[in-house]
Structures are given as structure tokens and as C-alpha cells.
Amino acid sequence: MNPVFDIDCSRLHAEQQRLQAIYHPDRYVGASERDKRVSVQVASWVNQAYATLQDPVKRSRYLLEISGAEIPDDATTTSDTEFLMEQIELREQVESCRHDQDGLQRSDQIGTGLAHRADELARDFVSHFEAAEFVKAIESSRKMQFIQRIQQQLSELQFELEDL
Amino acid sequence: MALLQISEPGQATVPHAHRYSAGIDLGTTNSLVATVRSGEAVCLPDEEGRSLLPSVVNFSNAQPLVGYEAQALQTSDPLNSIASIKRLMGRARQDVIQLGDVVPYEFVTSEGSNVPRIRTLAGDLSAVEISAEILKTLVRRATQSHGGDLDGVVITVPAYFDDAQRQATRDAATLAGLNLFRLLNEPTAAAVAYGLDRDADGLIAVYDLGGGTFDISILRLNRGVFEVLATGGDSSLGGDDMDHALGEWIIQQGGFTDIDAKLARHILLAARKAKEKLTTAESAEILIDYRRQKWSGTIDRQQLEELIQVLIQKTLTACRRALRDAGISKNDIGQVVMVGGSTRVPLVQSMTGEFFAREPMCDLDPDKVVALGAAIQADILAGNKPDSDMLLLDVLPLSLGIETMGGLSEKIINRNTAIPVSRGQDFTTFKDGQTAMSIHVVQGERELVSDCRSLARFELRGFPPMTAGAARIRVTYQVDADGLMSVSAEETTSGVSADIVVKPSYGLTDTEIESMLRASMEHAREDVELRMLKEQQVEAKRVVEAINTALAQDGEVLLSKSEIAQIHEHRDRLEAAIETGSATELKQLIKAIEDASEFYVARRMNASVQEALAGKQINEVDI
């Protein structure tokens, strides 16, 4: 088995549902208590596997883990100052939408930009990972996580703006 | 021993007799029971042909009265006639006070229990016990109609019910002596009743307007799998408010003064009757004749609609909010399902249809639709439809977290995570020789523990004493398919499991439920013992059958000769005891064979998982 980052998410989803159709506790309602417990456990593994693989950041970390790369605990920091500056700037851009009249519209543009940036970083990750440059791959994975967090902040802000 | 019978969906397992199952809608105002008969879901009526059972229980006699009889006593005996008990399920005293005048009962809290109890002539009763009476009445209806016991039931709960409320519902089922297959979300049940699981993928809005509450749920259907994306609503908005609006109009038109409670009730009843008539008629006569106060008049549908329009507008505001929570626009909604008696009002249908820009589904009786969906799901879970591939996968409605330093909640499992799910977390000891620790689990989205709902405190005891920081304690949080959480813990360096004491913040403890069960069984002890024996005999036969089937399939591949002999020995002992043994003996022998074949089950599981994974997806999914 050769693990790769680029996967077909709709097929992943179909596979999750195929396995749940076999192992979900609903298939074991008449079973003994112990078998029910086992089924809950297997169904949990399936859900957990799906949750890990369908999220690009978690998937990248999982690939690193099974490849034996050691991921330091402080995965929330980066030493790349240029990237840090970019972070601060992106955050400021997101926040500035809050008090802007065209905030919603601008936030959409920022969202498109962030999606591009996430794709770019994912490509970086793939090339480092395939070249077995794990230290660099870990760095890319972290950056992906940063961007994902800003994307989350942006979508929360969009909800707030729509509420007004 | 079903894992000894792993099978792909649609592939026939060992054929079995048709199992009798039912779906129960345990509602705030009314409850219903339904079952699938000759392939069709039907609600079961009482002797007088009424499907609805008012969710009211009167406790002024030794034998509680449930339904219409209890409802009739509500005015004359309000303190012993308990209504709307669903609002109190899984709730603490302070929540009850917040409900204000909704519940006029006298509450008592007893020592050693977190559960508020209502003082009645039949004793101090918890919401779980009162709900169990409603369940028992419904089940009696089902067993009488069938002429035999139920193998299992599905009970519906609102999608937003938290762990404590779900647990309380499950406890009520236990107390009523029911085998609960599953708790099912009400909106999902409604969608199932309409057969939407067979439809193309899409987004579904379930609009549920009852007598006193409004709920809106947004579901996503994806290849037979339902997921609740968002829920919202208003817990004090419903058909009763329409009656009030019309009642005020009558008072104004009739120029009534000196309105006492009885006249008010009289007017409200007249208003409701007129409202119901206007569902089909263009106009309705209203006649008030109460002592010396008389008035008669006519109202047409348009006049009514002017009065209630603002109420319906409120429900649509809640819809808008739920759509935003789900992150979708109303144009994305493919189907709108109508639930609850108040959706019969034509203006509700037309305004909802206009809002979502599509015709709402209201072919099924909106009072019955939830129970019907539950019955369909129960029938499938009972194994009566081996060809059905419908699977209802749920998500966790509220995040689970644990209390950390400074009263903050650290999320362990986020809301909308697919369940069942389990998460592990490692802890260590901070004192030399520490053998116990305590974990406080909360549910909710807020940062502060005090803003979340406390679920339970778990005390983990019995770790081997070690120096501070040396122990590795792995705590596993498991959420099952009903959304209920359990906790287990192990010290991993020694492999010692912790003893866990659960202190539910709002629910009943296991001991409390057990003693309630015992009390309720006292009268029928012999029946119960006989039933338990019968149950164990059936179980024993099934276990023997399952073992034989499994051994025939792959016993020789997966097991050594001595292992087979060992399993045979246990099987023979159990088989010999089926006719002669007591329930307890059978239970022990079943347990013995299960323990003795545990490794076999594990091997079969592994073989099965290997096979499932080997088939195709290694190449196709490219993981």
C-alpha cells in the first residue's frame, strides 16, 4: 500500500458508508451486550478513520505519522517569519471586514484567496512528502493548519455579518 | 452473538421468525404508538379508536390513570395530574423553576439524588417514572393489539436533546420493561415516514409546529444516511397561541367583561373549535353561552389568518436562523416535511411553502408522522427487512468537553461529529502514590464550564500507586449510536483498569433505577421471573445456534482442535441446561460460553475486517 495525499473524497465517503452498513450498532440490536459493544467500537473506528482522512490537515498529519515522521507537540508554532507576517496580515484583513460596509463581499474575496493558499500549501506538502523530506512536510502541514484556522474565523465572522 | 454472523447488507442471515416491534412518539402534549403491519406503518388506536394518548398521568389512586381520563382530572386535581412531563426529562430543579408557570406542581428534592421529584398522592415521582407510565400504557395497547409481547421499540426524541435528556428517556424505557432498540431523532423519523431515505440526496427541512412548541430541523440526506445539520425553534410557540389570539378577538367582539377562569376556558375551547373548522370551511360560527354571558358571531378564514399571521412569521424567522446555522440558503432545501397538528392550518402551509419556495409535504397525518417513522425504523432494526439498506447515522448534537483548570471546558468531541465515536486522552498523576482521579464532563458549546451543561462526574479509582508523573492513564470517552456517553480508563503501564463511579449531574444513578425497577416488579414478581427464564432460554438457543453456524463456517480455519473442543464443551453444557436450568444458571452459562469464545469472536472480527478492507478500496481509495 502506497499512501498518498490526493484522494477522491466522494469515494472515501462511499467507503465509510459501506463499512457502516456492515458494522453500525443498528445492525446488531438483537445481539448480546458484548457484541453490541464490539460493534460500537468498530463503528467508532470507521467514523474516526473517515474524520481523519477527509480533513486535509488531519490527513497530512496522519500520513506523516504512519511514515514514521516525528511531529513535535508544539505544532501550533512556526519559525518561518515571512509566513508569520502573512498570518498577521490575513487576520487583520478578516477582522477589518467586521466594520466595513462591504464587509460580506470583501470576506468572500478573502475566502477565495484563502482557498487558493490552502491548495498551494497542500501541493507543497505533497511534493515534500513524496520526496520524503519530512521536516519540510511537517512545516507545510502546520501552515495548512494555520490557514484552516483563519478560514474558520472567516466563516464565523460571515455568520455574524449575515446576522446584522 | 451477532458478530458471529457478520454479513453484508442485503445478504440473508439465518432466517428468523418475524419480530414484533413498535415505534413510540413520546410527546410533550400527546404520545402515540405505531407498528408495521403487512409492510405498512400504522398507528395503534385505543379501544375507542383514538390514536392520540394525551401525555397526562394522574396519581390520585394506587393505579395511575394515563391519557384522556387523566386529562379530564386536570382542572379538578391539578397537583396529581401531571402534564408536559417531557419538559422535565433530564432536568434539575433550577431548570424546573425557569419553566415558571408551565408546571404548577409541588417539587421535592431528596437527599442523595439530583433528580427533582413531584409530590403526588402516589408518592414523590421523578419525570422518568411518570414517563414510564405513559410508555406502559402505549405498550399495553401494542401487546393487546398483537396478542403477544414486543421484541423491541424505537422511541423518538427531539434532535436537540442533550445526553441527560436522552439518558432519562432511555431510563424510562428500562423502567417500563422495554427493550429499546434505539432513540431516534423526531425530524429524522418524520423524514423516514415520508420515505425520503429512498429519495435522491438532498437537504430536508422538517417544520414541526405542535400545540405549545415549534421546532425546525435541517437534515442532510446522503445515500440513505440522514444527518442533522441544525435545529432551532421556539419552545413557547404553537397552536395554543393561535387559540389565544382568536380568543382575544372573541372577547373584543362579544364585549365580555368579568372574565373568570372558567369563562376564559370556555372561550378558548370555542376558539379552537372555530380554528379547526376553518381548516376546511371558509367560515365558522362561534357561540358563547356561559351563564348570563351570551354571544354568537361568525368568523371567516381571512379574519383568522390576519390574527395568526404574526405567529407564523415568528416560526419563519426561526427557520431563517436554522438555515444560517446549517450554512445553507433556503433555495438549497429540496423537501419540506410538515409535522405537528398545527401544520393543518392552511396559512401555515401556504406561508411555509412560500418561504421555502416549494410545496410542503403534508399527505400524512401530521400528528402521526413521527410515530410512523419510528415504527418503520423499529421494523428494520428488528431484522424484518433484511433487504433494507437504510441506515440512520446521527451526529452528536452538542459538544462534549471536560473541565480543566480555571473552570474552562476543553472540547473532547465536537458537535456534529458522526456517532458512534470514541476519543482517548492521556493523563498522568501529579502526586506520589495517587490512585484516583476525577473527571467532570460537560456538554455545550461555550468556553466556560459554568455556561455548559454538567453531565456527570466520573471518579476513577484503583490505579496502582506510582511516583508522580509515572502513571499513564488512558481515559476513553465513548459515545454510542444514541448519543449517550460512557467513560473507561486504564493505567497503561500496568494494564490495570479503573473502577468508575458515575455521578450524573441530573440523571438517576443506576442504583436508583434498579430500586425503582424492583419496586415496580414487586406486584408481578412471578410473571417477571417466568419472563426472565423465557428470555434466557431464547437467548441460549440463539447462542448455541450462532456457535454452530460459526464453527461450521470457519471453525477449522481459525481454531485449533483443542480450542474447538473447549468451545464444544461449553456449548454442550449450555444446551443441556436449556430446558432444566433456571434463568440465573442459563445466564451464567451464556456468559461462560461468551467469555470462552471471546478470542474466536475477535479472530472472526479481524478476518472480517481484513476481508472488508481487502476487497477493493486499497487500490481504489488510495489511502
Residue of B129, B163, B171, B186 marked active site: B186
Query: Cα distance from B467 to chain A (closest Cα, Å)?
Result: 24
The model's pLDDT over A18-39, given as tens digits with 9 standing for 90+, comes to 898 889 998 888 788 888 888 9
Q: Which residues of B touch A65 (CB under 8 A)?
A: none
Chain A interface includes B601 (CB < 8 A): yes
* Nearest C-alpha neighbor of B341 from the set B209, B214, B246, B244: B209
- Cα B423 to Cα A47: distance, rounded to the nearest angstrom: 11
Nearest to B618 among A1, A19, A44 (CB): A1
Q: Is the dihedral of CA B221, B226, B230, B231 positive or negative?
A: positive
Q: Which fold, B197-363?
A: Nucleotidyltransferase; domain 5 (3.30.420)
Chain A interface includes B539 (CB < 8 A): yes
The model's pLDDT over B191-246, given as tens digits with 9 standing for 90+, comes to 999 988 877 788 999 999 988 889 999 998 877 778 888 888 887 788 889 999 99
pLDDT interval class at B533 (50, 70, 90): confident
Does the distance separating the beta carbons of A44 and B420 come in below 8 Å? yes
Neighbouring CB atoms inside 10 A of B375's CB total: 33
Query: Cα distance from A32 to chain B (closest Cα, Å)?
Result: 5
Exposure string of B445-470, with b = 16+ CB inside 10 Å and e = fewer, is eeeebeebbbbbebebeebeebeeee
Query: Picking from A96-110, A141-155, B173-187, which range would have the lowest pLDDT averaged per residue?
Result: A96-110
Asked if this assembly's ipTM is beyond 0.85, the reply is no
Q: Which residues contact B118 (CB under 8 A, 6 or more apart)?
A: B82, B105, B106, B107, B108, B124, B125, B126, B127, B130
The model's pLDDT over B261-289, given as tens digits with 9 standing for 90+, comes to 778 878 888 999 999 999 999 999 999 88
Contact B487, B439 (CB under 8 A): yes
Q: What pLDDT shows up at residue B69?
A: 92
Neighbouring CB atoms inside 10 A of B611's CB total: 10
- Cα B41 to Cα A113: distance, rounded to the nearest angstrom: 52
Pairing mode of beta strands B214-222, B225-234: antiparallel
Which 3 state secondary structure label does DSSP give A93?
helix
Q: What pLDDT shows up at residue B5?
A: 55
Does the distance separating the beta carbons of B418 and A27 come in below 8 Å? no
Task: Evaluate whether the domain defined by B518-614 bears CATH number 3.40.1080.10.
Answer: no
Contact B44, B140 (CB under 8 A): no
The superfamily CATH assigns to domain B400-508 is: Substrate Binding Domain Of DNAk; Chain A, domain 1 (2.60.34.10)
Chain B interface includes A12 (CB < 8 A): yes
Cell of B567: 468451545
Residues of chain B with CATH 3.30.420.40: 19-189+372-381, 197-363
The model's pLDDT over A58-89, given as tens digits with 9 standing for 90+, comes to 999 999 999 888 777 655 566 778 888 888 88
Q: Which residues of A touch B1 (CB under 8 A)?
A: 31-32, 35
What share of chain B in percent tops pLDDT 90? 36
Exposure string of B404-443, with b = 16+ CB inside 10 Å and e = fewer, is eeeeebeebbeeebbbbbbbeeeeebeeeebbebebbbbb
Contact B1, B542 (CB under 8 A): yes
Chain A interface includes B514 (CB < 8 A): no
Residue of B46, B86, B243, B368 marked active site: B86
Chain B interface includes A40 (CB < 8 A): yes
Chain A interface includes B563 (CB < 8 A): no
Nearest to A11 among B224, B393, B620 (CB): B620
DSSP state of B489: E
Question: Closest residue of A to B476, CA-based?
Answer: A41
Pairing mode of beta strands B180-185, B152-157: parallel
Pairing mode of beta strands B333-339, B202-209: parallel
Contact B124, B110 (CB under 8 A): yes
DSSP state of B431: S
What share of chain B in percent tops pLDDT 70? 88
Does the distance separating the beta carbons of B327 and A35 come in below 8 Å? no
Contact A145, A75 (CB under 8 A): yes
Say which amino acid occupies B122.
Answer: A
Average pLDDT rounded to a whole number, residues B147-151 = 85
Q: Which residues contact B597 (CB under 8 A, 6 or more apart)?
A: B1, B547, B567, B570
Pairing mode of beta strands B473-479, B152-157: unpaired
Q: Which residues contact B533 (CB under 8 A, 6 or more apart)?
A: B582, B583, B586
DSSP state of B395: B
Does the distance separating the beta carbons of A8 and B480 come in below 8 Å? no
Is B208 known to be catalytic? yes
Chain B interface includes A73 (CB < 8 A): no
Q: Give which of A4, A26, A36, A162 to mutate to test B binding, by max B Cβ within 10 Å.
A: A26
Cα-based distances in Å from B423 to A48, B275, B416, B481, B488: 9, 52, 15, 15, 11
- Cα A44 to Cα B53: distance, rounded to the nearest angstrom: 38
Residues of chain B with CATH 1.20.1270.10: 518-614
The model's pLDDT over B393-441, given as tens digits with 9 standing for 90+, comes to 888 888 888 888 778 888 889 887 888 999 988 888 878 888 888 888 8
Mean pLDDT of chain B: 84
Cell of A71: 511531529
Chain A interface includes B14 (CB < 8 A): no
Q: Cα B303 from chain centroid?
A: 40
Cell of B483: 448519543
Does the distance separating the beta carbons of A8 and B621 come in below 8 Å? yes
Gyration radius of chain A over CA positions: 20
The model's pLDDT over A138-147, given as tens digits with 9 standing for 90+, comes to 989 989 999 9
Q: What pLDDT shows up at residue B100?
A: 53
The model's pLDDT over B553-566, given as tens digits with 9 standing for 90+, comes to 888 888 999 999 99
Cell of A152: 474558520
Residues of chain B with CATH 2.60.34.10: 400-508
Based on DSSP, count helices (H) and strands (E) in chain A, helices before strands.
6, 0
Chain B interface includes A15 (CB < 8 A): yes
The H or E element spanning position B204 is strand B202-209
Does the distance separating the beta carbons of A14 and B225 come in below 8 Å? no
Instruction: Indicate whether B2 pLDDT > 50.
Output: no
Q: Cα B193 from chain centroid?
A: 16
The model's pLDDT over B9-62, given as tens digits with 9 standing for 90+, comes to 444 444 456 789 999 999 988 999 999 998 899 999 999 999 999 999 999 887
Q: Which residue has the cell 378577538?
A: B249
Contact B89, B128 (CB under 8 A): yes
Cell of A138: 511537517
Neighbouring CB atoms inside 10 A of A117's CB total: 18
The H or E element spanning position B250 is helix B239-254
End-to-end Cα separation, chain A, in angstroms: 51
- Cα B36 to Cα A90: distance, rounded to the nearest angstrom: 57
Average pLDDT rounded to a whole number, residues B522-527 = 54
Exposure string of B532-565, with b = 16+ CB inside 10 Å and e = fewer, is ebeebbebbebbbebbeebbeeebeebbeeebee
Q: Which residues contact B470 (CB under 8 A, 6 or more apart)?
A: B428, B429, B493
Q: Which CATH architecture has domain B19-189+372-381?
A: 2-Layer Sandwich (3.30)
